[in-house]
Amino acid sequence: KVVISPEDRPDEPLPQLPASLHALAREALHRILGDGSELAKGWVDNSDATEWRQEVQLILHALG
């Protein structure tokens, strides 16, 4: 579950984002989850890796 603090949200609703932006975001997230990703290997602590991957998967799911 991705937890976002209410203080972190924008004051107004976000505009509808174009589908092309969703596609780019999905592609970027798939790349960081993929084999050889330096982000997954060098920036995420091994003890947090499973939870981190699950949170990224939730974001991917939300993007459709």
Q: Confirm whether 27 is domain-assigned.
A: yes
In the prediction, which pLDDT does 1 show? 54
Q: Apex CA 53: angle with CA 14 and CA 48, to 5°?
A: 115
Long-range Cβ contact pairs of 31-40 (< 8 A, separation 24 or more): 32/56, 33/57
Distance CA 22, CA 63 (A): 6
Q: Is 59 among the domain residues?
A: no
Q: Is the pTM of this model over 0.85?
A: no
Tell me which residue range forms the domain holding 26: 18-43
37 located within any domain: yes
Q: What is the Cα gyration radius of the chain?
A: 14
pLDDT digits (tens, 9 = 90+) for 7-28: 777 788 878 888 889 899 999 9
Between 2 and 44, where is the model more confident?
44
In a domain, 26, yes or no: yes
Report the Cα–Cα distance between both ends of the chain, in Å, rounded: 16
Domains in the chain, number: 1
Q: Residue 3 domain-assigned?
A: no
Residue 53: pLDDT over 60: yes
